[in-house]
C-alpha cells in the first residue's frame, strides 16, 4: 500500500502531476490517492527507479527460429510463432526448446549474442544475452553415475573373464592411455556434456561470443593453509611403508568405531564413502577391528564414521580448465570475477545467475529458465538378478526410454521407463500397456523442461511439450 507523506499546499491546477481532464470520470485509472490534494510521493518521478527494478524482474518466454536453410535467427515471441504456424509459414522442428523453421526466405539481421557458461562437476549454468534481453537460460543437472557404472562393469567383466582360463592377460596394451589428451571416462563424459550443450545452443541461436567460467584450485592449500615450499612434494605418507602403516599412525592404533586399541588384533581398512563413488585416498579410509567391520555392515553404522571431503569436483575443474580453448573459441573468466560482479548487481547466488553475469548481463529483461536433465541414451545392462524370480535377460533396446513423453487419452505424461520386455511402461506409478500410447516424443541425452512451479500431480509436462 502506498504510504502518504506530507500534503503540498498551493499546487497549481495545470501541474503535470494533476489529471489534465476536468471530468473526473475520464481519469479514474489515474486518480490520486486523496482527492483535491497532491502528495509528495504521488510524483511520477519518484516512482521511476521502482519501475526500472520491476522491469528487470520481468520474465518472458521465447520461440527459437531457423531460416529456410536451417541456420539460427533471432528468436520471436510465442504469439508471432503461433501466427506463422497457423498461416503455414513455418514448421515445428523440436518441441523443447520450442523451435520452428521458416518456409520462406527472410532477411537475416542478427544481434550480437554472448553465451555465458558456468562450468561445474554436478551442475552447469548457461545464459545467452543481448544488450537488451536474455534469450535463453537454465541449469543442466549432470548424471553423476559414470564411476559407479564403470565399477559394476569391472565387477561383471572380471567374473566373466575368470571363466576364460585360456585368455591371455592384457595389462600393458591399454591404447587409450597412450593417446594425447586422454580423459578418464567419468571426466570425459562431463566435459563433453559442456561442449554438447554449447553446440545445442548454437544450433538455435546465432551466438557471436562464448564466455566460460573456470576454476583453479590448490587442493593441498585447501587442506593445509600453511603449506609452502618443498612441503608440496612431501605427501601425507612420507616416511611410512604403505597406506596401512600411515593410517595406523594417524589413528594412534585405535578403532574408529569402538575406540579401542587394535594392537595385536586383525584390522580392516573400510571405505567411508563407497568405492563406487569415492576414492582410495587415506582420507576415505577408516581403521576398524575385523568384528567392528562386520558389525558396521550388518547394522548400517556408516553414519558414526566421520566423512572427509573427497575433492572430486575441484579435481575435475583443475583437469578441464585448459581444454576449453583447445576445442572451442571462447574467453575464460574466473570465479572471483563473477562473484564480484554478482554482488554489485545484488543478484542471488545460483548457477543460472552466475551464467547471466558471465555473459555480461546487467539490467536485461530475463527469460524463463530451463531445467535440463542429462540421462543415458541406452541401458546397456543385459541382465538383472531379481530376488525370488528367474533372471531377466534384456536382448534389445526398448523403444520407450525414461523421461520420454507419451500421449495417453489426450494427456501427456513423462515415462519412468519400460519393463516386461518392453511391452509396458511406468507412468505416474502405474504400469500401462504400450498399445494405449497415442504419440511419443523421444528425448536424447539432454531432456529440456521449463523450470516452472510444480503442479499437484508433479512436474508440468506442458512445459516439455511446448
Measured in degrees and rounded to the nearest 5, phi and psi for residue 184 equal -60, 150
* Domain residue extents for the chain: 7-57, 60-102, 230-312, 379-465
Tell me, what's the pLDDT at 149?
85
pLDDT of residue 174: 63
Q: Give 108's strand partners.
A: none
What pLDDT is attached to residue 218?
A: 87
Place of cell 510465442: 78
Q: Please check whether residue 269 is in contact with residue 286, taking contact to mean a CB–CB distance below 8 angstroms.
A: yes
Of 102-111, 202-211, 225-234, 445-454, the least confident? 445-454
Q: 265-296: per-residue pLDDT in tens?
A: 889 999 998 887 788 888 889 999 999 999 99
Confidence at residue 120, expressed as pLDDT on a 0 to 100 scale: 93
pLDDT, averaged across the chain: 80
Which range among 199-208, 252-261, 333-342, 443-452 shows the weakest confidence by mean pLDDT? 443-452
> The cell 524370480 sits on which residue?
389
Of 92, 186, 116, 113, which Cα lies nearest the Cα of 147?
186
pLDDT score for 37 = 38
Q: What is the mean pLDDT of residues 201-215?
A: 94
Q: What is the mean pLDDT of residues 312-330?
A: 90
pLDDT value at 204 more than 70: yes
**Sheet strands (E) in 56-189:** 59-60, 64-66, 90-94, 99-102, 114-118, 123-129, 134-141
Within 10 A of 362 (CB to CB), how many other CB atoms are there? 13
Q: Residue 36 pLDDT more than 50?
A: no
Tens digits of residue pLDDT in 390-425: 656 666 778 888 889 899 999 989 898 888 888 899
Q: Name the one residue in this structure whose C-alpha cell is 543478484.
A: 347
Radius of gyration of the chain (CA): 30
Confidence of residue 67 (pLDDT cuts 50, 70, 90): very high
Residues for the chain: how many in total? 466
CA distances to 114, 117, 138, 350 from 209, in Å: 5, 11, 18, 22
Residues whose CB is less than 8 angstroms from the CB of residue 203 and which lie 6 or more positions away in sequence, other chains included: 72
Cell numbers 590448490 label which residue? 218
Let me know: does 90 contact 101? Beta carbons within 8 Å.
yes
Average pLDDT over residues 75-93: 93
User: Which of 9-18, 95-104, 180-189 shows the lowest mean pLDDT across its residues?
Assistant: 9-18
pLDDT category at 360 given cuts 50, 70, 90 is very high
For residue 373, give the H/E element and its range.
strand 370-374
CA distances from 12 to 26, 27, 39, 41 (A): 20, 18, 13, 17
Q: For residue 358, is pLDDT > 90?
A: yes
- pLDDT, average across residues 44-63: 48
Which tens digit of pLDDT belongs to each residue from 123-167? 999 999 999 999 999 999 999 888 888 888 888 778 777 776 666
Task: Using the CB atoms, write b or e for 299-318: b if 16+ within 10 Å.
Answer: eeeeeeeeebebbbebebbb
| 82 closest CA partner among 461, 466, 464 | 466
Measured over the CA atoms of residue 276, residue 280, residue 283 and residue 289, the dihedral's sign is positive
Higher pLDDT, 454 or 289: 289
Amino acid at each position: 500500500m502506498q504510504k502518504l507523506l506530507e500534503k503540498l499546499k498551493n499546487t497549481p491546477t495545470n501541474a503535470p502531476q494533476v489529471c489534465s481532464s476536468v471530468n473526473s470520470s475520464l481519469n479514474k485509472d489515474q486518480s490520486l490517492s486523496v482527492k483535491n490534494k497532491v502528495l509528495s510521493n504521488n510524483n511520477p518521478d519518484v516512482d521511476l527507479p521502482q519501475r526500472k527494478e520491476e522491469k528487470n524482474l520481468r520474465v518472458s518466454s521465447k520461440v527459437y527460429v531457423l531460416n529456410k536453410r536451417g541456420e539460427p535467427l533471432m528468436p520471436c515471441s510465442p504469439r508471432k510463432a503461433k501466427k506463422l504456424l497457423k498461416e503455414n509459414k513455418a514448421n515445428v522442428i523440436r518441441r523443447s526448446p520450442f523451435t520452428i523453421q521458416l518456409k520462406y526466405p527472410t532477411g537475416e539481421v542478427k544481434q550480437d549474442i554472448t553465451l555465458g557458461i558456468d562450468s561445474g562437476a554436478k551442475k552447469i549454468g548457461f545464459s545467452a544475452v543481448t544488450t537488451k534481453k536474455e534469450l535463453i537460460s537454465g541449469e543442466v543437472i549432470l548424471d553423476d553415475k559414470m564411476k559407479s557404472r564403470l565399477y559394476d562393469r569391472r565387477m561383471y567383466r572380471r567374473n566373466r573373464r575368470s571363466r576364460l582360463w585360456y585368455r591371455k592377460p592384457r595389462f600393458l596394451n591399454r591404447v587409450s592411455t597412450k593417446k594425447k589428451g586422454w580423459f578418464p571416462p567419468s571426466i570425459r563424459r562431463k566435459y563433453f556434456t559442456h561442449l554438447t550443450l554449447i553446440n545445442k545452443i548454437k544450433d538455435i541461436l546465432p551466438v557471436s561470443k562464448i564466455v566460460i567460467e573456470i576454476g583453479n584450485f590448490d587442493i593441498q592449500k585447501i587442506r593445509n593453509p600453511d603449506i609452502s615450499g618443498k612441503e608440496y612434494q612431501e605427501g601425507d605418507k612420507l616416511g611410512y611403508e604403505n597406506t596401512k602403516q600411515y593410517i595406523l599412525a594417524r589413528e594412534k592404533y585405535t578403532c574408529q568405531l569402538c575406540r579401542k586399541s587394535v594392537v595385536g588384533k586383525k584390522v580392516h581398512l573400510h571405505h567411508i564413502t563407497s568405492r563406487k563413488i569415492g576414492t582410495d585416498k587415506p582420507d576415505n579410509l577408516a581403521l576398524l577391528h575385523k568384528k567392528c567391520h562386520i558389525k558396521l555392515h550388518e547394522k548400517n553404522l556408516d553414519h558414526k564414521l566421520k566423512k572427509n571431503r573427497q575433492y572430486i569436483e575441484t579435481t575435475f575443474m583443475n583437469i578441464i580448465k585448459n581444454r576449453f580453448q583447445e576445442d572451442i573459441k571462447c574467453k575464460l573468466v574466473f570465479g572471483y570475477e563473477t562473484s564480484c560482479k554478482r554482488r554489485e548487481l545484488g543478484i542471488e547466488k545460483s548457477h543460472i545467475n552466475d551464467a547471466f553475469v558471465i555473459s555480461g548481463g546487467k539490467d536485461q529483461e530475463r527469460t524463463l529458465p530451463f531445467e535440463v536433465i542429462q540421462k543415458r541414451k541406452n541401458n546397456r545392462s543385459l541382465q538383472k538378478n531379481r530376488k525370488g524370480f528367474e533372471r531377466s535377460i534384456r536382448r534389445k533396446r526398448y523403444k520407450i526410454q525414461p523421461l520420454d513423453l507419451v500421449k495417453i487419452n489426450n494427456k501427456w505424461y513423462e515415462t519412468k521407463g519400460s519393463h516386461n520386455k518392453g511391452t509396458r511402461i511406468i507412468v505416474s506409478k502405474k504400469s500401462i500397456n504400450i498399445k494405449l500410447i497415442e504419440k511419443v516424443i523421444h528425448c536424447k541425452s539432454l531432456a529440456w523442461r521449463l523450470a516452472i512451479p510444480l503442479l499437484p500431480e508433479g512436474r508440468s509436462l506442458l512445459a516439455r511439450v511446448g
